């Protein structure tokens, strides 16, 4: 079948099919004399597998490992389970990080009056290392404040950089 048919049968776009070939999740398709790619039903099954794994957030490398396990009839299911459990742990860590980000942003939004005044705690928070520390993305000690210069200071000191 053509790439268009493989795409519609698998739910994977032609562009992504080409990408999965380039990163070797899918073996390169055979080519017709005219150079068109031809895919088998087995290729479509692999594409569906990859799509489902991507929808669950598995990385390309993890999917490559899962495909290897899927193809190995002698695989111990503990290997598959271990990979899935490691992915769950990573998702939980990401979820905690997203909750911290949301909490910090909600705090900043609550502090902002949202009126005609130029003062904005949201912008102040974005220029403050405490915000980065609150979401775990900064290496500065917790509570250390290193605010960036204000726009007025930057304008007044333009051209005076060291």
The boundaries of the domain holding residue 137 are 94-156
Distance CA 48, CA 53 (A): 9
User: Which of residues 71, 102, 123 is at a domain's end?
Assistant: 71
Residue 64 maps to a domain: yes
| Confidence (pTM) | 0.69
Give me the CATH number covering residue 23.
Answer: 1.10.1660.10
Residue 124 maps to a domain: yes
Residue 50 maps to a domain: yes
Indicate if 66 and 21 belong to the same structural domain.
yes
Say which residues have a Cβ less than 8 Å from residue 147's Cβ, sequence separation at least 6: 124, 127, 128, 129
Q: Is residue 101 scored above 50 in pLDDT?
A: yes
Q: What is the pLDDT of residues 114-142, one digit of tens each?
A: 999 999 999 988 887 655 555 555 444 44
Residue 83 maps to a domain: no
Residue 33 maps to a domain: yes
């Amino acid at each position: 079948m053509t790439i268009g048919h493989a795409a519609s049968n698998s739910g994977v776009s032609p562009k992504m099919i080409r990408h999965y070939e380039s990163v070797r999740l899918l073996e390169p398709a055979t080519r017709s004399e005219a150079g068109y790619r031809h895919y088998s039903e087995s290729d479509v099954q692999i594409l569906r597998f990859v799509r489902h794994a991507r929808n669950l957030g598995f990385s390309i490398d993890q999917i490559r490992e899962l495909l290897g396990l899927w193809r190995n009839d002698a695989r111990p299911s503990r290997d598959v389970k271990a990979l899935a459990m490691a992915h769950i742990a990573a998702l939980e860590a990401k979820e905690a990080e997203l909750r911290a980000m949301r909490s910090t942003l909600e705090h900043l939004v609550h502090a902002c009056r949202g009126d005609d005044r130029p003062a904005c705690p949201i912008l102040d928070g974005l220029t403050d290392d405490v915000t980065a520390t609150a979401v775990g993305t900064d290496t500065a000690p917790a509570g250390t404040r290193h605010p960036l210069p204000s726009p007025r200071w930057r304008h007044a000191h333009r051209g005076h950089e060291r």
